[in-house]
Chain A
Amino acid sequence: MNDKFDDNIKKALEYGTSHVLDQKDQVWEAIKVRTYYLPKGVSRMNKKRKKRNPFIKIMAASTVAAALLLTFLIETEPGKAAIDKIKEMFEPQKNIVQELEGNNEETQVELNHSKMGYIIYVDKEMYDMVKTDDADKIVAKHKAEGLPEVFMEITQIVDKDPNTVAADIENQLKAEFPIVENRGQVSDPIKGILIRATTGHEWNDKVVVYYLVDNTQGGTFLIKQQYFMEASEGHGARFYHMLKEFEIVKE
């Protein structure tokens, strides 16, 4: 069967696909970036919203219940005595299972209890928690040269409510970014005001996302995420899931 016609089929396929040589390097660059920044199982092709695993929902509900109970109890002396016990309800470490593209991915997350009065679970495999006097910064472990730094930073403004802070942030972003979008009040992944800005729509364009969350004492938790466009479904997805676990715990 290996006659001239077979050779022609092979040559026709090679001619028809010869332009891939121009694509090869570009595709490799994209793969290289994604192996640094995309978590397991997160796909660029699957852009639909990921279905939340019921297990995560149950854990999040437990976290909310524990936070509410803690907030209530610390108002009383017997309550204060019970704080340590309640804190045990926030497991220091837990494994969450996320369904991504039909695959169950298990990730270990670690409890971070901030002196600012909140808790969050952090994926320590991918990020480092760097604490300073006035900020908690969750920083990506892998850093790529020439790309925007990837982090989620949490600070607190004690004397301004979210609406006031939103106006300041929006003006500040408009001076720096060509594309700024104030999406107003959102409830997912967290209840607060969402403002998003980007330098453009190329794969390496910087993306900044702010969530302004009422700290329940007249102030605002300012949560800033930064990454680049191509990492939206990687770090963006991870930050999204971490913020789902964010809870205020007054002390």
Chain B
Amino acid sequence: METNLLQRLKKRDEKAFEELYNKYGEYALRVATAITKNHENAADIVQETFIRVYHYIDNFDINKPFEPWFYRILINECNRSFKKDHKNLPISDYMDNSALFAKEDNHDFVEYQFLYEAIGNLKDIYRIPIILKYLKGFKEAEIAEILEINQNTIKSRLLKGRQYLKSALNNIKKGVL
């Protein structure tokens, strides 16, 4: 199914491009938002990613899985955005701007809010693999391919990132709840 879609895209089929966006656009936006903590930058990043896919699809080997290639482009665009503008919104401001977070008020939500804040405060080396694994559901091998890092390193970073999150969440709960 996906091979057919990509073959059509290689022929510059505009309908295929739209189908591709419908399939990958939402999670691309989610991942870019979680990484940059800035929805405007995330929108620009996703635009750039799809434009690059459209222009460089001829370079993609259709026999290989598409998603790691796609997310490698997305991560590169995130890095480019970081270099361009280091002034990301602080996570607390970002949370204030989220309509959903402003409306919800229950224990689970509070935990998600703290947890999301804790994820946002992780160092990039832990945060990005965590986002790719938990938000997008990538396996360690795929994350290693996307980030072009050894798989064991990814495994270790995921483990440490998770430990930091647990610890950070406990500290926040102790102080706030």
Contact = CB atoms under 8 A, between A and B. Distances in A.
Contacts of B115: 8-9, 12
A15 B50 CA distance: 24
Interface in B108-162: 108-109, 111-113, 115-116, 119-120, 130-131, 134-135, 162
Given A15-B100, A15-B109, A9 B162 contact: yes
B29 A15 contact: no
Interface in A1-26: 1, 5-6, 8-21, 23-24, 26
Given A16-B101, A19-B100, 15 more contacts: A12-B113, A12-B115, A12-B116, A13-B119, A15-B101, A15-B113, A15-B116, A16-B116, A21-B26, A23-B29, A23-B42, A26-B43, A35-B17, A43-B51, A44-B47
Contacts of B84: 45
B124 to A, nearest CB: 15
B55 interface: yes
Interface residues of B, number: 49
Contacts of A174: none
Nearest to A105: B55
Main secondary structure of the interface of A (DSSP, over half): helix
Query: Which 8 residue pairs across A and B have the least CB separation, nearest first?
Result: A20-B29, A12-B115, A16-B116, A17-B30, A12-B112, A13-B135, A12-B116, A9-B134
A244 interface: no
A16 B51 contact: no
Interface of A: 1, 5-6, 8-21, 23-24, 26-28, 30-32, 34-35, 38, 40-41, 43-45
19 contacts: A5-B166, A6-B134, A9-B134, A11-B108, A12-B113, A13-B135, A15-B109, A16-B112, A16-B119, A18-B98, A20-B29, A20-B42, A21-B26, A27-B46, A28-B25, A30-B43, A35-B17, A45-B45, A45-B84
B55 A20 contact: no
Main secondary structure of the interface of B (DSSP, over half): helix
A45 B26 contact: no
A14 B34 CA distance: 9
Contact of B34 (A16, A26, A28, A35): A16
Contact of B165 (A9, A10, A17, A23): A9
Contacts of B95: 16
A1 B99 CA distance: 31
B18 interface: yes
A38 B135 contact: no
Nearest to B137: A10
Contact of B29 (A17, A35, A38): A17
Interface in B32-50: 33-34, 39, 42-48, 50
A15 B51 contact: no
Given A20-B26, A23-B29, A24-B29, A35 B47 contact: no
Interface string B55-94: 1000000000000000000000100110010000000000
> Interface centre among A10, A13, A23, A38, by most B CB within 10 Å?
A13
Contacts of A18: 98, 100
Contacts of B113: 12, 15
A17 B115 CA distance: 13
Contact of B134 (A13, A30, A34): A13
